[in-house]
Structure 1
Amino acid sequence: MAPAPLLAAACLACTLAMFGTGLSDLRQMLATQSVENIQFLPFLATDANNLGWLGYGCLKRDPTLVAVNAVGAALNTLCVLVYLRYSPHKRRVLLRSLALLAPLAAGYGYACRYRPPMDPAQPGQDRYRPSQAAPGTDPL
């Protein structure tokens, strides 16, 4: 096996294992029906991170980014929802979630609305690096 695919597979496995670290907290919340001694911010921050990378992967049409971050976003969204279900302070949890996710949604909406057009004849091209860019210029 070539080194690049082997490294990609190892990174994919480590990333998915990292997303699974919240499962013990999820199991504890479900068993005790309480969020006592469980931090909310790591779930929310990781969820926002996954959703951001998922959106980026969709814009770039990168199946690896989409697959990995879809799994992470699903697991962390589940943790956020279970935390919300058992939290006695639902309003505070919702406000924190909205405060973090609203700019993410606005940025994704902006990127979708104002992205440069793509040539349908080149399905793998990068949206943000047009193939006809002037020499010496880099839009990113």
Structure 2
Amino acid sequence: MDQLYWVSWACLVFTVGMFAAGIPACLQIIRKRSTQDVPFLPYLATNINNVLWCYYGSLVRDSTILTVNTIGSCIQTTCIIVYIYYTNEKTKIIRLTFYAFVCVMAVLLYFNYYDLTPDRLINQLGLAASGVTVAMYSAPLAQLREVIRNKSVKSLSFPLSIATFIASSLWTLYGFLLDDMYVSLPNVPGIATSLVRFYLFWLYSSPSETLHV
């Protein structure tokens, strides 16, 4: 088997594992029948990211990209439905989800009906999906500032940091093997933010906090 085959399978396994990291919080919502202390935006942002990459994967005919993000979108959609069911801010959350849905549909309609050549379509969609991925990986920076301010890593998940680092590294390698910068470059911030998390765990954590999920 060639290198690309094994890297693609590793991407699938570790990325699905990274997407599934939100499931315990979703189960916590069901158990407590409350969304208290569980943020909504990560589910929504990740789902938007998944949908755009599903479309990109279908355009470039890459089954790995398509499969991973289809599974990811199913996971995030389920978590969003659970969140909406149990939240006390239903109107706000539904409105936010609706606005996000409209924006994504507008982008997809533009790509579907605007007269673009196949190469321009792939390039523009690649840029859009890459931008969302970079934003998704950059979002935890505000959380990291809180960690530095409080000198505590209780709000961070060490297993998720490991999964993010491995998945980002694998996608960077996968994009390099495909010679696809839209796959490789957006994952570099994921590597960088994971390394920052590891440093903060080393700096501030106790053994019990390092095992925090």
TM-score by length of structure 2 reads: 0.52
Point out the structure with the larger helix share: 2
Cα distance between partner residues in 1 of 2:110 and 2:49: 18
Amino acid at match of 1:99: Y
| Matched pairs, number | 121
Q: 2:119 aligns with which of 112, 119, 128?
A: 128
Bigger radius of gyration, 1 or 2? 1
Cα distance between partner residues in 2 of 1:3 and 1:53: 22
Deviates more, 1:7-16 or 1:76-85: 7-16
Shift of 1:24: 0.3
Q: 1:54 and 1:81, CA in 2 relative to 1: closer, same or farther beyond 3 A?
A: same
CA contact (8 A) 2:44 2:97 kept: yes
Q: Deviations over 1:17-42 (max 9, x none)?
A: 11110110111111111111111011
TM-score by length of structure 1 reads: 0.78
CA contact (8 A) 1:48 1:104 kept: yes
Shift of 1:110: 1.3
Cα distance between partner residues in 2 of 1:58 and 1:90: 34
Cα distance between partner residues in 1 of 2:19 and 2:44: 12
Partner of 1:128, secondary structure, is helix
Q: Identity rate of aligned residues, in percent?
A: 32
Cα distance between partner residues in 1 of 2:58 and 2:101: 17
Partner of 2:156: none
Shift of 1:116: 5.0
RMSD: 1.9
Partner of 1:136: none
Shift of 1:55: 2.1
Q: Which ranges of structure 1 fall in alignment gaps of 5 or more residues?
A: 118-126, 130-140
Partner of 1:39, secondary structure, is coil
Amino acid at match of 2:11: C
Partner of 2:16: 16
Partner of 2:90: 90
Partner of 1:59: 59
